[in-house]
Amino acid sequence: SYELTQPPSVSVSPGQTASITCSGDRLGDKYVCWYQQKPGQSPVLVIYQDTKRPSGIPERFSGSNSGSTATLTISGTQAMDEADYYCQAWDSSTYVFGTGTKVTVL
């Protein structure tokens, strides 16, 4: 079955850039989206179709996808961005979520 691998944790200082990777076989051939989940809350879509931001998502969130790696970048990270982040893709009639990354803003 298809797998998406993310680093378990990423630490970033306020105002700096956080990069979260998502790796999978030929991932660049698929659309990737990203979700943010804060404790006790439902996931929120922050990036879809590799690079697009839904209405209401700040511009500091951006995405890219090429080769076998997709990346979610948070520029000028704020304390409110501390959360778990998940990538997701569709493969062989199955949705697959990444393993998840906890972003800590120190």
Partner 1 sequence: EVQLVESGGGLVKPGGSLRLSCAASGFTFSSYSMNWVRQAPGKGLGLEWVSSISSTSSYIYYADSMKGRFTISRDNAKNSLYLQMNSLRAEDTAVYYCAREGVENYFDYWGQGTLVTVSS
Residues in contact with partner 1 by CB under 8 A are: 1, 8, 31, 33, 35, 37, 42-45, 48-49, 54, 84, 86, 88-90, 93-97, 99-102
Q: Which is nearer to partner 1, 28 or 43 (CB)?
A: 43
Kindly tell me which of 15 and 54 has the beta carbon lying closer to partner 1: 54
Q: How far apart are CA 38 and CA 71, in angstroms?
A: 19
Q: Minimum distance between the CB of residue 79 and partner 1, rounded to whole angstroms?
A: 20
**Minimum Å distance from CB 81 to partner 1?**
16
- Closer CB to partner 1, residue 7 or residue 69? 7
Phi and psi, residue 27, nearest 5°:
-60, -30
- Nearby residues of 100 by Cβ (< 8 Å), 6 or more positions away: 6, 8, 84, 85, 86
CB of residue 12 to partner 1, shortest distance in Å: 17
Distances (CA, A) of 38 to 31, 57, 59, 79: 24, 15, 19, 12
